[in-house]
Structure 1
Amino acid sequence: MLKQDYNKVGLGSISLLLFIFGILFSVSFGNRESYGDNILRFIGLSPWSNGDTGFHYTIFYSLIFYLPALILGYKFKNDLWAKLGRTLSLITIILILLSLFFVAV
């Protein structure tokens, strides 16, 4: 039997893709607003708590991408890019929770 020296593309590989979607959803690039802000406005939700200022809800909606990325990365850890997606998602989730804690205190 041959030993496989490389990881296969599988469900764990989606972890990195979900992380990238989460970044695109929550982060503004240049002087443009994030894609998440545009999507939320399109479906009739406000991305900010006070018009265009205040608490930015989009960062918390991005958890819809980060949490499944983390779960898939752990569940299918031997797949290609699963470890990278898992690690980046975990770091991002921790940063979001820390920022929520410091805003609340």
Structure 2
Amino acid sequence: MKRWAVGTIFSFIMILVSLASMIQFSNGWTIGDYIFKFLNQPPWSNGLSGTHYSVIAFLLLLLGGAICLKFSLESASAKLANRLNIITLILVLCWLPITYAGKQLVMRFSTGINSIEYDKGISSCNFKGGDDGRIIISAEINLTNHGKRPVTFHMEIKSPSTNDDLKRFFGNGLVLKDKDNTMETFELNPGEARTFEIEAYADNSSDLHMSGSMSTPTLVLFNEQDEKTFAR
């Protein structure tokens, strides 16, 4: 096999790996994030926020693959080089829309909590310690049920930060409850997209009295059948 052909194949592998790493699951993690976790490396600079290391790494891999492809095709015929360049451009431009459509299709045929999508971009959470020792939570959580059946569930909020005090304050997670200390119950109908405006309480298992806000809270949905954590 000619050297330029080997280089072209290697370049396409680099490009495909970088594109595949950006596929995002319904829980917010990408394949690249899982690769970093497998290598015992943090995907983010601050727990689940900050600089997204895995995206930067695989974008650099994509750039490297494109540069290698350019040099490899210099030895190929002009007609073949043009065709491969066009194919590569179409692949890069269409990859994310195709994978997004695939994710939506998978969720449409999912059941229960697995059919719910969390839009962290328009969700937020404010919290403060109450006088009674409980934590008062005001949150706006945007969820969409892509499934064909209603879903009833409870919510738990965790901090995406690696800050030690916040980790202590939130503990293993704050389950949303009402004034009577009963778990809040939420429901989404089939195809419904809704921003839940939540005023709730949670038990404070720490000795800290804190207040603050989070723009992208880590969310856990659970019921008697299943549990789903949206890491991002």
1:82 and 1:13 map into 2 onto residues whose CA distance is 11
- The Cα shift of 1:29 comes to 3.7
Give the strand-richer structure, 1 or 2: 2
Instruction: Give SS of 1:49's match.
Output: strand
Query: Would you say the 8 A contact 2:14–2:62 is kept in 1?
Result: yes
- The one-letter code matched in structure 2 to 1:19 is I
What is the 5 A alignment of 1:1-105?
Answer: 9-31=5-27, 33-77=29-73, 78=76, 82-83=84-85, 84-85=87-88, 87=89
Give the helix-richer structure, 1 or 2: 1
- The Cα shift of 1:74 comes to 0.8
How many corresponding residue pairs?
A: 83
- The one-letter code matched in structure 2 to 1:51 is G
TM-score after normalising by structure 2? 0.30
Query: Would you say the 8 A contact 1:22–1:62 is kept in 2?
Result: yes
Cα deviation code 1:14-69 (max 9, x no counterpart): 32322110012233144362221112112221101221123211111103421331
Higher relative contact order (CA 8 A, sep 6+): 1
5+ residue gaps in structure 1? Answer: 1-7, 92-105
Q: Percent identity?
A: 22
TM-score after normalising by structure 1? 0.57
2:91 and 2:70 map into 1 onto residues whose CA distance is 11
1:45 to 1:69, Cα distance in 2 relative to 1, 3 A: same
